[in-house]
Structures are given as C-alpha cells and as structure tokens.
Structure 1
C-alpha cells in the first residue's frame, strides 16, 4: 500500500481533473474532446449537491444541468482551484475543502466548497464524489464590480 497515492492525493487530483473537464465541456471550441461518461462515473449513486444559492440538487439534476450546458461558453471560461485541504478522513471516506475561482464572460466569482469522497475502483482517480456543498465567497461580478447572478 505504500506505493498507492493517499486518499487526499486522489481526492485532490479528482477535484482538479473534474474542473478541467468542466472547462473543456463548457467551452465551444473544446467540447468535442470532453468525455461526459467520465463525469457520470465520478458522481456516486446518491450524490447530492448544495449549490451556492442553497438549492439542493440530486445526482440526476446535476448530470442533467451539466449535460445541457455543453458548449455554452465561447473561449471565455476558466476555473482555478485553490487552497485544497483535508477537512476530515476516516477509512475510505474523506472530506476535502477547496476554493473554486471562475471567470466566465468577463465575470469573476469565487466559492468555497467542501466535498465528501469515497473510494471507487471504477472511477478515474479511484475515488467518487458523494456530496458537495458550495458557498459564495464572491458572487459573479464583472470587472466594474457589478454583481450578476
């Protein structure tokens, strides 16, 4: 087991990889190279998400939203993941906290997220998303500081 990446390393890689998928999937020029089945495989059964506005979404709602949002950006979308840290860990389950910074169409936003992961041999990084909770740190704002939702 000493040669196997830690649960935290796998979760960190998964967070970064999934957000790379989002950038490809949402960008019109790169959407054809994004594999939606990769996204489906990492969203564990029973997955739930609390969106930054407080809305509770189940796995199917999240899958449907992402599927419908394919190629909706025209080279104006970027995500940076910052400050990844362990929140809690026991056995094959880990809570990881991170900050997601987005730029979309000239609007900038930041959200703090906490995600619960469990191991899964069928997932790309050997780990799947079980729960995600996002909270606004900065709602979408354009460069003048005007807010947009």
Structure 2
C-alpha cells in the first residue's frame, strides 16, 4: 500500500468539501471568501445531474446555475452530509451514496444522493464528479 488515502476516503472528502463550498458560495455574508474555480475544476467533463424533481442537467447547466446562485441565501442556510457509504467501485471509479440535509429559509429538506467519481491527480481531493442523482426524501416544507 502506498499510504495514499483510499478512493472512498477521497470521494467522501470531496462530497463534504464541495457542500461546504456551496454553503460559503450561497450565503451572502461569505460569498466573497470562496473561489468559484474550485467548483468548476471538480465538475468532470461530461458531468450530468438528475435533480430531485427528475430534471436532467448537463455540466454547463449545473455550473451556470451554481454561478448565478451566488449570495442568494441568508446566514441560516446549512447543509449537512449524512450516512456516506461506498457503492460499486474499481481501481479509478467509485459510486458514493449519501444523504444531503438542508436548512434554507427556515425550511428543512433531505435528499438521497448517489454520485460517481473518477480519479484525477489535478483535483483538490484527487477525484472528479462524473454523475450525480438526487431523490427527495423530504421536500422543503410549504
């Protein structure tokens, strides 16, 4: 073993770190403290997302949405990542399962997510996002 963190460890760290980025990017009081390039660098070529409502978005649509959503939340916005588990994997690809819980505008929501990552030595945690699928577990209240 080389002592390098496992693919699961790297992908798990990426899930947590990217959601930390989202909070900082979306909260108006912190939006000036983050580098948007960090987000763009980890969205791999060909990335696609199935949103909780079933809409399929390509990489450009996701990047544009995140870019234009800068500073749109108040200080109460939070995201927590729960129950991270490994799914299928091989030497350079892994599926990660996790629950994303949000508090936005006083409303709670939860989504079950599955994400596909591939290794990349140039990415902050050594992995790129390739696919993301989210399903509502708890739709934001009223």
- TM-score category by the smaller chain? over 0.9
Q: Give the secondary structure class of the aligned counterpart of 1:74.
A: coil
Is 1:73 aligned to residue 112 of structure 2? no
Alignment of 1:1-149 (within 5 A): 1-141=1-141, 147=142
Q: Give the secondary structure class of the aligned counterpart of 2:139.
A: strand
CA deviations 1:49-88 (Å, max 9, x no partner) are 0000000000000000000000001212000000000111
CA deviations 1:111-149 (Å, max 9, x no partner) are 0000000001111000000000000000001xxxxx3xx
- Aligned counterparts of 1:94 and 1:74: Cα–Cα separation in 2: 34
Deviation at 1:39, TM superposition (A): 0.2
The answer for unaligned runs of 5 or more in structure 2 is none
Count of residue pairs the alignment pairs up: 142
Deviation at 1:2, TM superposition (A): 2.9
Q: Give the secondary structure class of the aligned counterpart of 1:123.
A: coil
The answer for unaligned runs of 5 or more in structure 1 is 142-146
- Aligned counterparts of 2:43 and 2:122: Cα–Cα separation in 1: 11
Q: Which residue of 2 aligns with 1:144?
A: none
- Aligned counterparts of 2:85 and 2:63: Cα–Cα separation in 1: 26
- Aligned counterparts of 1:36 and 1:62: Cα–Cα separation in 2: 13
Q: Give the secondary structure class of the aligned counterpart of 2:13.
A: helix
Q: Give the secondary structure class of the aligned counterpart of 1:72.
A: coil
- Aligned counterparts of 1:74 and 1:139: Cα–Cα separation in 2: 20
CA deviations 1:95-117 (Å, max 9, x no partner) are 00000000001000000000000
4+ long deviations beyond 2 Å = none
